[in-house]
Structure 1
Amino acid sequence: MSFSALRNVALVAHVDHGKTTLVDGLLRSTGVFGAHQAVVDRVMDSN
């Protein structure tokens, strides 16, 4: 990935308003994960 394609995004919201779901969707839609990778439902959850 080139630096010209890199973007910083800030998400601010209260608890349980879909921040993790949104980021997971963004990661999936940008093709960050390869077709051979097993991806869990919530990539950003660390609990």
Structure 2
Amino acid sequence: GTGALTEVGLLNAASAGVLLSRIVFAVKNKGPSDTLKITIEHTYARG
């Protein structure tokens, strides 16, 4: 599809999950054949 993208979220489940990370950015307009790849790296400490 198409649309104006302004945020991305990382959740721990496909539905009713916990939001682990949210990033808001300036608008990125997506065309019908465009793809957007976002890489999120998290580091967790044990304990």
More strand as a share of residues:
2
The verdict on a shared fold, with TM-score over 0.5 as the criterion, is no
Flag the structure with larger Rg. 2
Tell me the TM-score normalised to structure 1 length. Answer: 0.21
Higher relative contact order (CA 8 A, sep 6+): 2
More helix as a share of residues:
1
